[in-house]
A and B are shown apart, each in its own frame.
Chain A
Amino acid sequence: MIGILSSLMRIGRMLGAKTQTRAYPEEKPVLPPRYRARIILTRDPDGQERCVACNLCAAVCPVDCIDVVKAETEDGHWYPETFRINFARCIFCGFCEEACPTSAIQLTPDFELADYARSSLIYDKEHLTIAGEGKHPGYRYWDIAGKAKTEAEAPPVDVRDLLP
């Protein structure tokens, strides 16, 4: 009896409380920036694509839904010739973002990916790449890589020089 009354009281108290149900999709939720949903490819501060096609995201992906094909510019910069994610398979675990050495691949709070056809859930490089730097502003992988020459590096040594 007491149990029933206390339950009724609790329900009665909630009658005046603020509702938790959201009128989605009319009302959009505000998600934290670290929320893991739609995957993007970002650009470095110079506007160059950050991805170097190292394939670490593809390797770490537990559902194997990423496929990257490497290409190389004349000056030795690697870039993805194709970059494909199958969102029909993606489980948004965020491992790819953790594995990425260049901060290129990032997960965003945009979760509205549903579609009627599986084929529309295959995102290629042009669908994934955004114009900005995303969560890691100012980071430029090629400055620290030590492969393609940048101003951040020491000049090449002169092997004919015998001075210490």
Chain B
Amino acid sequence: MTARVELNGRWFDATEGRDLLSTCLENGVDVPHFCWHGALGSVGACRLCAVRVYSGPDDTMGRIEMSCMTPVRDGMRVEVEDAEAGRFRAHVIEWLMLNHPHDCAVCEEGGACHLQDMTVATGHRNRRSDAPKRTHARQDLGPFLTHEMNRCIACYRCVRFYRDYAGGTDFNVFGAHDRVWFGRAEAGALDSPFAGNLAEICPTGVFDDKQWSQHYARPWDMTETPAICTHCSVGCNITLHERAGTLRKVQNRYHGAINGFFLCDRGRFGPWFVDAPGRITAPRQNGTAIAPDAAIALARQAVADGAIGIGSPRASLEANFALRELVGPDRFFAGVSDAEAAQVARMLAILQTTPASLATIKDFESADAALILGEDLTATAPRAALALRQAARGAEKALAGEKGVPDWLDQAVRVAGEGRRSPIAIVTPLPDALDDAATHPLRRAPDQVATFGFAIAAALRGEPSDPEAQAVAQALAAAHAPLLVSGIGLSRAEPAEALASIAAALGAKARIALFPAEANSFGLALLSPKGGLESALAANPAPLIVLENDLYHRADSATVNALLSRAPLTIALDCLDTATTARAALVLPVASMAEATGTYINNETRAQRSLAARRPTDAAPAAWRVLAQIGGLLGDAPRLDDVLAALAARSPALAGAALAAPPATALPAVARAPESYSGRTAHDLAGRVPQGTLPHQDPDSGMGWSMEGLRGAGVPPALSTGPHRPGMHSVSAAYAAQTTIGGPLKGGDPGVLLLVKSETQGQALTDPTPNGDGLRWLPLHSPFAATETDLASPPLAARAPAQHLLLHPDDATRLGLTAGAQTLVDGQPCAAPVTLDAAMPRGWVGLTAPRGRSPLVTLGAVP
């Protein structure tokens, strides 16, 4: 219901019953606040958002109220700048600052600190007390976060995020009254794969990004570039911070439909691979350096000899397209197994034909029933799992709503909601990290997951089915917006098929999300490669051009070995040394995601542009540039817009990719560096201007490399890294760029959906039952590492679990293995000892292994 409210003398339309603080912030009326957060709601703990509220025109006295705890009422008048309210807020800040150390100078947060902003906003300057400040002990929280408890102001945002929002259990508040302490019971890395968000959710410097601290530059001293996370298929928006040519910090970049306020740790710490020691810096032939021109000439010769191109789900759309143009569409293969290439193509076909609508990650949060079929979502698409946890609270909010408790009143909702949970069914082979949020945690062997899915579809059609499937079907049928989720995590095609039949039975009210394995899996599939690596092996022997791909992570090693040893010449283009580049005769360095601009297509077929955070070196330009140079495509100095125009001409279905961000010619350019960027003239420039000899304009994007150009409001959302408003320096001010709190960005959420609905039902896939002796492979996933780029990032490598090998005790007895035994897997010694797990399905072995490995595992004891 609409209400008219007067905020600081101006009348606004507002929603009756909504909290006053959000209403003020959405309408551009800034109210100081601490414990409130757009994603966490109101708890009224800090008392900083006090304003004077008048009930109506007759009320001349008014009263001081906490705006985050006050529902909007029609005719209400609010004075934020009221003198008494201002004094009240100044007192609150003075209390908060009573024990806060005098260490902004040596605090990473300084310059991007919510507490600093709020202290300045309320006018508090001098500490009047000379009592000694309370101090706390620090804790080592692993490779992701720093911990400096002296700075804590006890706003409780961290526990509310970590425990209530992200479902973590190993972090809590300890102690009593004014001595509360936030941390783990024992020192050690935080378990939750979302722990990195504490660095952003903390309004001061208690938790900070340890990688940033170790590569420190002040917030105003780093360029900010909008990029896309390339570590899973969700495509979260990130900001890369750079100074002096090195990556300094990775930060969440708000996107209303995808990541919202939060990232997972794989996304936050994954990009550190770009400065890893294994970067390739110069072309080399058989291990020795070679002149770039000679390398290009060799590659040209290989193309003339009919080279085969191996694309990559990790590389950008432009790079894959340039490779396809170079070798020709008939010789372009996906750098994944045949099975995976077919599965991903089939997933696209399912999305095209399903009557269900495509679920964004934001839609996950509002689903009132959900089914996850076979996917270990917390490990394969972590941000989606975090969103699903919020869906579980839907029933609690509905019950609280019936009792008259609004959904923004966070703690009251938790009490009034009586712990009620929305129906969520998780059908996986092993106990899942989301089980605690699920009402139906169901265990099925990998080949039975799809069977169960088909049973749900049958039950929805009114056919007899097993009781558990009946129960899930009932919950889905009763829901207004049921969510269906599956993916490729089991390396099987059938779960997606089962999901398609459930979606068909539920009709248009259903929302569907299918997660392929990597950031550009869908982009690669949309370029219609001629099958995967087994198909490439079946083609005539020819030189290979492998694009940004460690094949050993994506296909069976026997296939890759055969492919590489058969090719007369293997050319690998990559930014990192991998097992594949080690076997390639010619290695060409290319830019990593931090130096290359490119488009990635996420799990909802949203094309998003990731921009180069620093200039590429002459030795390692963007992969598409190298490929265009080899083929002499698009002239002497091709630009990204030329590649996208060629792509649109060749594949009209992908024409939308060009609209993911403004073209490079859109002037004036957007500034990468903040206006107070310092130190530009500290080095000897012999009278040149700092930007000097290098061009200011980035040829591949609408951004400039320096401080010159647009910033703040007016920047297109695809190029914007935040609201950049005076007095708001912290990431806690992200709400200022949103139309509504937690809603779309002003100017629209960036990205273009490429999916075109189709009526043509494709051929359903089935998974063959492998013949032969041995156990069947159950893939195990980790939230911290999936492919070579994750493992090359030093913080992720420190956090990634060692390899795991899980066996059912009965299978172990049959094979004569005991817990902790060393084994041979397919004849090779396995790094992981045997772990016995009664939850394992019999006849299967859970193994951390690259995707696309053979589905049969021969396991034996080490003789």
Contact = CB atoms under 8 A, between A and B. Distances in A.
B106 A145 contact: yes
A157 B175 contact: yes
For the complex of A and B, list the 8 residue pairs with the smallest distance between their C-beta atoms, beginning with the closest: A146-B101, A159-B175, A67-B682, A54-B105, A67-B679, A58-B678, A159-B181, A145-B103
B132 A65 contact: no
A80 to B, nearest CB: 11
B133 A153 contact: yes
A39 interface: no
A127 B779 CA distance: 59
B174 interface: yes
A157 B213 contact: no
Contact of A52 (B105, B148, B174): B105
Interface of B: 100-107, 110-111, 132-138, 148, 150, 174-177, 179-181, 213, 216-218, 220-221, 676-684, 686-687, 690
A156 B683 contact: no
Contacts of A141: 105
Contacts of B678: 55, 58-59, 61, 64, 66-67
Nearest to A153: B135
A102 interface: yes
A64 B677 CA distance: 8
A156 B135 contact: yes
A162 B133 CA distance: 19
19 contacts: A55-B218, A55-B221, A59-B111, A64-B679, A66-B679, A67-B679, A70-B216, A76-B106, A86-B684, A88-B684, A89-B681, A122-B684, A145-B106, A146-B102, A147-B150, A154-B133, A157-B135, A160-B175, A161-B175
B175 A59 contact: no
Contact of B679 (A58, A77, A161): A58
Given A59-B218, A159-B181, A66 B176 contact: no
Contacts of B150: 146-147
A152 B346 CA distance: 67
Contact of A144 (B102, B107, B687): B102
A85 interface: yes
A136 to B, nearest CB: 15
A63 interface: yes
Contacts of B111: 59
A69 B221 CA distance: 11
Contacts of B677: 64
Contacts of B104: 54, 101
A68 B111 CA distance: 16
A98 interface: no
Contacts, number: 121
Contacts of B132: 153-154
Given A146-B150, A159-B174, A118 B106 contact: no
**Quick one: which of A70, A85, A156, A159 has the most chain B CB within 10 A?**
A159
Contacts of A164: 177
A84 interface: yes
Given A147-B150, A153-B133, 16 more contacts: A55-B218, A55-B221, A59-B111, A59-B676, A64-B677, A67-B682, A70-B217, A76-B148, A85-B682, A146-B100, A146-B102, A146-B103, A146-B133, A146-B135, A154-B133, A157-B181
Contacts of A101: 104-105
A102 B105 contact: yes
A156 B691 CA distance: 49
B253 to A, nearest CB: 24
A118 B684 contact: yes
Contact of B683 (A76, A84, A153): A84
A68 to B, nearest CB: 7
B110 A54 contact: yes
A102 B105 CA distance: 9
A155 interface: yes
A147 B107 contact: yes
A65 B213 CA distance: 23
A155 B681 contact: no
A119 interface: yes
A52 to B, nearest CB: 5
B179 A159 contact: yes
Contacts of B100: 146
B244 to A, nearest CB: 8
Given A72-B213, A159-B174, A159-B175, A145 B101 contact: yes
Contact of B680 (A54, A64, A72, A84): A64
A147 B101 CA distance: 7
**Quick one: which of B134, B678, B687 has the most chain A CB within 10 A?**
B678
A164 B175 CA distance: 11
Interface in A125-157: 141, 144-147, 149, 153-157
A156 B682 contact: no
B105 A64 contact: no
A37 interface: no
A155 to B, nearest CB: 7
Contacts of A64: 677-682, 690
Nearest to A54: B105
Contacts of B107: 147
A160 B91 CA distance: 30
A56 interface: yes
B682 A145 contact: no
Nearest to A157: B179
A52 B105 CA distance: 7
Nearest to A120: B684
Contacts of A149: 135
**Quick one: which of A52, A78, A88, A157 has the most chain B CB within 10 A?**
A157
A57 B282 CA distance: 39
Contacts of A85: 682
A122 B682 CA distance: 8
Contacts of B110: 54
A52 B100 CA distance: 19
Contacts of B676: 59
A54 B682 contact: no
Contacts of A155: 135
Contacts of A145: 101-103, 105-106
Nearest to B676: A59
A158 B525 CA distance: 58
Contacts of A118: 684, 686-687
B646 to A, nearest CB: 42
A162 B178 CA distance: 11
Nearest to B182: A159
A144 B106 CA distance: 12
B679 A56 contact: no
Nearest to B678: A58
A154 B148 CA distance: 15
Nearest to B213: A72
B766 to A, nearest CB: 57
A8 to B, nearest CB: 49
Contacts of A54: 104-106, 110
Contacts of A86: 681-684
Contacts of A156: 135-137
Contacts of B177: 164
A96 B416 CA distance: 56
A68 B679 contact: yes
A61 B678 CA distance: 8
A58 B133 CA distance: 30
A144 B135 CA distance: 12
B399 to A, nearest CB: 35
Interface string A42-65: 000000000010111011010111
B101 A58 contact: no
A87 to B, nearest CB: 10
Nearest to A63: B681
Contacts of A61: 678
A61 B676 CA distance: 10
Contacts of A162: 176
A119 B682 CA distance: 11
B225 to A, nearest CB: 21
Contacts of B690: 64
Contact of A56 (B105, B682, B684): B105
Nearest to A147: B103
